[in-house]
Structure 1
Amino acid sequence: MQPKVFDSWLAVDRKGLYCRPGGFHIDPHGPAEKAIVTHAHADHARPGLGAALATEETLAIMQTRLGDGAPKTPQALAYGEVLKIGDVSVWLAPAGHVLGSAQVVIEWEGVRAVVSGDYKRQADPTCAPFELVPCDLFVTEATFALPVFRHGDPAEEIGKLLRSVEQFPERTHAVGAYGLGKTQRVIKLLREAGYDRPIWLHGALQETCATYERFGIDLGDLRPATGEKRETLRGEIVLGPPSAITDRWSRRLADPVTAFASGWMRVRARARQRGVELPIVLSDHADWDELVQTIEETGAGEIWVTHGQEDALLHHIQMTGKRGRALRLIGFEEEEDQ
């Protein structure tokens, strides 16, 4: 299939990626009448949607985070459940990114396109694992699409945090973690490593953790850190939004060890710029090896690349004989969850 054939039914307009025969956008970056939402992070799930299709979990998180800005007509679709929208067949496959995250599979006139949203292939106890879907066109993210980004073993990264807690029992460990996905993954990894003490949360993280627990993700003993006495938090692990770990909020903590859980912590300069004492290399996105592996395994002859480090990945795609294209969609910022 030639690129122009894909262009005839999947296009980029002022709202983002648009499926013409289905009449819907995928993760539009502003209000839209009809949309499919891959997951509930803020740069993919915007307020002001009319009819919106997503997993039950994504819709619940959107309601929690957006309130009155949540979709007016939400429709839940289970993984693997096929829905006909006009002449287009649509279904969702797990993306392995965060709870409820999905790849959007679109089939029309014998051709299959997969829009990945954000994804990872590392094991994650807080969400359904990534599912490979063979396709003709694969639209991939490229957040960490440079060979320097290889994320490593999550258990080893959590081990660094636990060793530091043991080494500095008089200090609070303040861990910056994005509220959707990263916070819950850090908590669950701590539990799997045998940490059974209370974990303390900044107020901004509590509602999303409660939503995870409603969907059966047991996070153990969680307690609000805001307003708690400094001595109570001495020797404890406190999770907060990355922005809170270095602002006035953290000053109430007892001589805190500042940590940050992010794929960007692979770059030491980033850690220094943020004043991070304990970088934890933990990402909810595919690293270079996973991106290359996934592109190969889909069997797609054409790859569209969006929101991230596009140039190196496009070069690799072209060197393997596939057709590559940078979509350059606007509206996908670098999030703190990476």
Structure 2
Amino acid sequence: MRNLALVMGSYHTGSCTPTITKMSMLSLIFLLVGVASGQLSSTFYETSCPNALSTIKSAVNSAVSKEARMGAFLLRIQFHDCFVNGCDASVLLDDTPNFTGEKTADPNAKSLRGFDVIDTIKSQLERICPKVVSCADIIAVAARDSIVALGGPAYKVPLGRRDSTTASLSAANSNIPAPTLNLTGLITAFSNKGFTAKDLVALSGSHTIGLARCTNFRARLYNETNINASFATSLKPSCPTSGGDNNLYPLDVTSPTTFNNAYFRNLVNQRGLLHSDQQLFSGGSTDAQVNAYVSNTAAFRADFANAMKKMGNLSPLTGTNGQIRTDCRKVN
């Protein structure tokens, strides 16, 4: 509404009575339509907090330089936030005696980190622009900056999300795709959020970075046949048939801290770590897309960036909905 004052201040000079020109009236109408629609914009903080993006980028670069794995965590936070009732920062809310959040959901409890980085960013932004930048927008920008820090594609992040005052443990347990899903289940889970099979393959390419716990890939090692034998053998010492549940292994053994298309080459060579990974290249409808990304890195990067922007647009709170939390871990 700050621009509204500029429109209303369009006067004819030399007149004691302010009048609004036809062009000003049109501008006012377009402005009000834009406000009402609540659409996101990459320039949302250009006036209200011009240093917001540089502040987030600096904090992310610092965190990733100290621990490359942090990039995967910050990216994962956005996935796990947006897939549960939209991109509203609900995943950041801590439990209280009277409130149950999403952090203890099965997909989150032992796989999400990076909340302290979000806290640091929020504290810095509250000092320079109090009550302006939402936690939901911080998540989206931090994910993008993490990707770039590890060599991935840059893309503009639409901004203007607001933060939820609620969370859903049950939705977190049911909406986040499990590593045990087969191809049909994956396509359905992503389709339910408006994604195509192509989007599914592109977004799965995020597994070019990060690690997975033994408990999430043990069954694949010992029960599946579409796995490279030497690859499986190399994993078994760190992931025995019992014990070692929390032992970690790279999702992309080739280049675990670099964002590239090696993940897809691994799938073609039956070296996908998770069952859900290898399902993308297992004689099904997505094999051709995997092959396309193996041979064309630029296509993967472009499709991934577009799919990330699409994900960031999942049911955001805008306008007067939600709030701008001053502490990302609790409602105001």
**Does TM-score exceed 0.5, indicating one fold?**
no
TM-score by length of 2: 0.29
User: Whose radius of gyration is greater, 1 or 2?
Assistant: 2
TM-score (norm 1): 0.28
- Higher relative helix content: 2
